[in-house]
Chain A
Amino acid sequence: MLDPELLARVRALGIKARTIVDGPRVGELASPRKGSSVEFAQHREYVPGDDIRHIDWRAYARTERYTVKEYQQETNFIAYLLVDASASMGFGAQGATKFDRALLLAGVAATVLALQADAPTVVPLTLGTTMEAPAPSSRRDRLERMLENLSAARPSPLQDEETRRPVVATALNDLASRSARRGMVLVISDLLEPLPELMEGFRRLKVRGHDIVVAHVLHGDELELPGDDLVRFDDLESAERLVAQPAVIRDRYRREVKAWLAEFAHGCSGLRVDQFLDRADLAPGDAFPAFLARRRQASRRRG
């Protein structure tokens, strides 16, 4: 399931949260609680009651004022890997569906996070079911079990029209209402859902202090609408059928897709949600590492 080359590149770059997150134990990332840990955070004026051991005497020699050194406690974090397993993710050629690509991204991300001693949890999102997140863990055996569970959740067509709901938006809202600790949320989905609901989910998670990353998985055919002959399009998620001639509607279709992607990107930008597009019809290996590199550079510029 894992692409060694992709794994190596992602591991080299690392997956780090861009915001302050909580973790179950000391780890690589900064904790919001400041104290006398290993990483210097800031100077502040001494106030009575402070431990005099923390006074920076060198600074006193220079400034003749008592200042105290504060350190930031490093911690690990929980990463929620929300993987869309709705029927629409089954689009694509055999072995190169969007879900296959989602599996790959989730596996790589979870493995790298575990190696970083962070606590990933992989949550498959399926239509009509309630999200159940396994306990986050960086233990190898538990990680493998989570990935096996994910693989088992193959996308399947929805039989009952009534239970059709936007799985990602629902999962985001569930997570926002449940999780107490701030962590990273990695959403891997085609996001073929109403954008307002998605954005509301992102917003609620952001309010909770989560760092959100979206791996937007789409197939090239969905972007381009190839072909000339008359085609009957059968919806993967319902019994809906549409007959159309791609050659006739292609331009209009592309304009719609482009507008949708632009609107999504604009919404993410406003919420400080990082996102990248990964085409399932292209070879894996470039989009995710490139995204991580961009994100790392942006963090440095900001820090």
Chain B
Amino acid sequence: MTFLAPWMLAGGLAAGVPIALHLLHRGHPKARHWAAMEFLRKSLKDTSRRVKFRNLLLLIARVMACLLAALALARPTAAWLPSWSATEAVIVVDTSASMAARERGATRMELARREARTFLESLPAGSRARIIATSDGIDNPADASKPPARAAADLESIPATDRPGDIATGISEAVDHLKGSSLPAKALLVVSDMQPSGWERGAGRIRQELDRLPSGTSVRVRRVGEPGGSNLQLVDASPAAGFVVSGPRQLWLVRVRNGGTERATDVVVRIGYALEDGSLEEVEAVPLGNLGPGEERVAETGLPAPETPWKRVVARVAASSDRLERDDAFFRATRIRPRLNTIVVGSTSPRDPAVNLGIYWKQAVDAINPIPGAANVASTLLTPEAANRAELDKADMIILSGLPTDGGGSAWEALVNRLEPWVRAGGTVIAVPRSSGQSKPSTWLAPLLSSGPETGAVDLASLAGNSLAPFASPPLDALGRLAIIKPSLAEALPGGRVLARLTGGAGAISISPLGDGAVAVMGLGSSPEEGELVLHPLFVPLAQTIVAESLCRPEWTRRPPWIAKAEGEVADHGFTGPQGAVLAAKEAGTGLVAPESEPRIAGFWKLSKKQGEPEISQDFVLNTDPQEGTGWTPLAAARAEDITGKAGILDESASPMRAGGPEALGWVLTALLLVLVSESLLAWWTGRPA
């Protein structure tokens, strides 16, 4: 047993108070002369023994009450501590890729199952439990609350996935579930290996979600696996543009971190396409030199992108100092697009019909062209009326620039109607509202936005909400909060800086600090007739991120219905998870693939663990300081311990349990009750008026 507030045990000294009072009281009775001693003698003869016994019991009860109160206030934690009433329990199981890591003969997933089973067995009768498996989303959203025994049986069918972790989403679902429960006691168990990539990046959200927990909920967090990394790790391998277009050479970024405690020497990163026999083709090798403990470095390398829909990219890292038998590897199934034809749709200026208001977005797309001069990457600026079906058929992505959110007029609405079947066929839309700071919900865009999880348009305004809601997906969340508002409003915010100005001096894109960690306020919609748009250099990576996110929206990579059907049939191919299943099906030519109309599997990544802490990390932040240049730098986020500490939960591997708050109060009340009951019973027993 451990104590969360051990200093409160000093309160146990209060147990001496009843003893002292008892002795003091006993030692100094009032003296009184008396004549009728015979009656006293007879009365005492019958009652003195009972009185002594009663006093002894009272003394014991009072001492026990003091000790119990001190014990309760010290918040004892132990797995065997009892619960008193039926409990609605939710177990959030981290099923991210790192949970497949094996340590001391068992995978972290197996350890997590063991912890969850122990927890379920400790629930009192009448309890119900729900298992929430969460990776980058909830794997089993349809699962309902059920008796603990059945929930324990379900645990066996929950595998580790090949996806990154997003524990906050699982906790959010758990909070919603607990809020809807009518059972008197509520408990949340989170079992995770607490990878910083999942816990640090989502620190704010985790805190927010835990704050939403119903009052009195018992929260336990169990870490499975060894904390911290101890060797060279491949963190990420991704195309520099966020997407891959077929061509002679595609720039890839491979991020490597030395998570160990020793210096890694002669580090070499290799990247290539995996063949079915496990060998690599088109291998590029990049030497990175030596990496000190904790050091992280990005290798830039290029790969030719053949005209094939899917390739499995494998990145590996090796070092002469590495004692491991095989290289660490990073797999990513990548869709190689044959082309990226973008149409930017903007309204014409009311003052000058020759000026299209989407001009700056066209410039942004041109600036982020991953293959300058390539014929298969092009951008076109059109008006809503000109974006007819023939033009749409040639496009892979459409940016609706300066989209009015209040209806937009017949030209825009007609375009949206034309876009709906185009989106369903696989097109990507970025909708950039004209004046989102005051925009209404884009209800008229609903046909696009509700086209289904595997299709859809990115409505920045809806992502930002009407105020300043955060982006949900990395790495945009590293920016803190991104809102689309008028540049004039952005400039009005304290500390705001204009990133892009029109030649006339008006701001086009601004960044402002917002709240505690907010970074970016993006103002779009200024009229170009005020001058020619001059792009700030930061706009390029910003627009690049938006475009990449649009092409690789996380929800499009999640389990479409047809994947679930194919999953079981290709499980023996050696890939895990829905994306792996799709890839395997594609490579094996089994035909169990998505229809061509739903090809939006952007890929998957899998991090193989060899020693220490495998990690999928995208904790980047946009460097907004012009003096230091533009680029991505590691996020200096709070450590996992900070998160858990601030959230008031434990981060220990020794079966922690939080028994604070209402539970401690329960102990105190129990102790007081014990005293009262003892007093009453004994007073009744001895005939003393209560």
> Does chain B have a CB within 8 A of A256?
yes
Q: Collect the chain A residues with CB atoms within 8 Å of residue B688's CB.
A: 247-248
What residues of B have a CB within 8 angstroms of the CB of A251 in the complex?
Answer: 687
Q: Which of A232, A238, A243, A257 contacts B36 (CB 8 A)?
A: A257
> Are the C-beta atoms of B41 and A234 separated by less than 8 Å?
no
Give per-residue flags for B24-37: 1 if the beta carbon is below 8 A from chain A beta carbons, else 0: 01100111111111
- The reply to whether B30 and A229 form a contact with Cβ atoms under 8 Å apart is yes
Q: In the complex the two chains form, what is the Cα distance from A256 to B39 in whole Å?
A: 6
* A252 in contact with B47 (CB, 8 Å): yes
Contact flags (1/0) for A239-257 with B, using CB distance below 8 Å? 0101111011101110011
A234 touches B35 (CB 8 A): no
Judged by a CB distance under 8 angstroms, whether A115 is at the interface is no
Counting CB contacts under 8 A, is A237 at the interface?
yes
CB contact under 8 A between A257 and B39, given known A230-B26, A248-B47, A248-B686: yes
Tell me what chain A mostly uses at the interface: helix, strand, loop, or mixed: mixed
Q: Please tell me if B104 contacts chain A, counting CB pairs below 8 Å.
A: no
Asked if B326 is at the interface of the complex by the 8 Å CB criterion, the answer is no
CA separation between A147 and B283, bound complex, in Å?
A: 136
Q: How far is the CB of B21 from chain A (nearest CB, A)?
A: 12
Chain B contacts with A in 198-222, Cβ cutoff 8 A: none
The answer on a CB contact under 8 Å between B36 and A244 is no
Nearest chain A CB to B25 CB, angstrom units: 7
Rounded to whole angstroms, the CA-CA distance of A242 and B48 in the bound complex is 11
User: Are A256 and B42 in touch, CB under 8 angstroms?
Assistant: yes
Q: Which of B7-54 contact A (CB under 8 A)?
A: 25-26, 29-44, 46-48, 51
- Which B residues touch A260, using CB under 8 A? 39
A118 CA to B688 CA, complexed, in Å: 53
Q: A235 contacts which of B30, B37, B44 (Cβ < 8 Å)?
A: B37
What's the minimum C-beta distance from B303 to chain A, rounded to whole angstroms?
94
Within 8 A of A (CB), among B635-690: 686-689
CB proximity of B235 to chain A, nearest CB, Å: 76
The verdict on A222 contacting chain B, using a C-beta distance below 8 Å, is: yes
Question: A133–B359 Cα gap in the complex (Å)?
Answer: 140
Q: Is A233's CB under 8 angstroms from B37's CB?
A: yes
- Residues of the B chain whose Cβ atoms lie less than 8 Å from the Cβ of A232: 29-32
> What residues of chain A lie closer than 8 Å to B686, measured between beta carbons?
248
A207 contacts the other chain (CB 8 A):
no
Q: How far does the Cβ of A194 sit from chain B's closest Cβ, in whole Å? A: 9
Contact check, A248 vs B35: say whether CB atoms are below 8 A apart.
Answer: no
Among candidates B36, B38, B51, residue contacting A245 with C-beta atoms closer than 8 Å: B51
Do residues A242 and B37 form an inter-chain contact, with CB atoms below 8 A? yes
Task: Enumerate chain B residues within 8 angstroms of A87, measured Cβ to Cβ.
Answer: 35
The complex places the Cα of A251 from the Cα of B51 at a distance, in Å, of 14
Q: Which of A91, A229, A233, A236 lies in contact with B40, CB distance below 8 A?
A: A233
Q: Which of B34, B46, B687 has most A Cβ within 10 Å?
A: B34
In the assembled complex, the Cα of A94 lies from the Cα of B35 at a distance in Å of 15
Q: Report chain A residues within 8 Å CB of B48.
A: 244
- List B contacts of A13 (CB < 8 A): none
A231 within 8 A of B: yes
Which one, B33, B39, B46, contacts A91 given CB within 8 A?
Answer: B33
Nearest B residue to A251 via CB reads B687
Shortest distance from the beta carbon of A95 to any chain B beta carbon, whole Å? 16
Q: Are B34 and A253 within 8 A (Cβ)?
A: no
Is B36 touching A248 in the complex (CB atoms < 8 A)?
no
Whether A88 is near chain B, meaning CB under 8 Å from some CB there, is: yes
Chain A, residues 244-283, CB within 8 Å of chain B (1/0): the string is: 1101110111001100100000000000000000000000
B34 touches which of A89, A98, A234, A257 (Cβ 8 Å):
A234
Q: Is A256 within 8 A of B43, CB to CB?
A: yes
Could you tell me the distance in whole angstroms from the C-beta of A234 to the nearest C-beta in chain B?
A: 5
A211 within 8 A of B: no
Contacts of B31 in A (CB 8 A): 231-232, 234
Decide if B32 touches A249 in the complex (CB within 8 Å): no
A234 touching B32 by the CB < 8 A rule?
yes
Q: Which of A89, A98, A230 contacts B30 (CB 8 A)?
A: A230
What is the distance, in angstroms, from B680's C-beta to the closest C-beta of chain A? 15
CB distance from A276 to the nearest CB of B (A): 19
Q: How far is the CB of B647 from chain A (nearest CB, A)?
A: 53
State in angstroms the CA–CA spacing of A176 and B35 once bound together: 27
- B241–chain A nearest beta-carbon distance, Å: 89
Q: Which residues of A contact B25 (CB under 8 A)?
A: 230
Contact of A229 among B29, B44, B47 (CB under 8 A): B29
| CB 8 Å contact bits of A185-212 with B (1 = contact, 0 = none) | 0000010100000000000000000000
Instruction: Determine the distance from Cα of A251 to Cα of B44 in the docked complex, in whole angstroms.
Output: 11
- Tell me which residues from 150 to 175 in chain A have a Cβ below 8 Å from any Cβ of chain B: none
Q: Can you list 10 residue pairs at the A/B interface with Cβ under 8 Å?
A: A89-B35, A90-B35, A231-B30, A232-B32, A233-B40, A234-B32, A242-B34, A247-B689, A248-B688, A257-B36
Give B contacts to A, CB under 8 Å.
25-26, 29-44, 46-48, 51, 686-689
Other contacts beyond A91-B35, A233-B32: 8, CB < 8 A? A90-B33, A231-B31, A238-B37, A240-B37, A242-B40, A244-B48, A248-B686, A253-B39
Closest 4 CB pairs of A and B: A88-B35, A233-B34, A230-B29, A91-B35
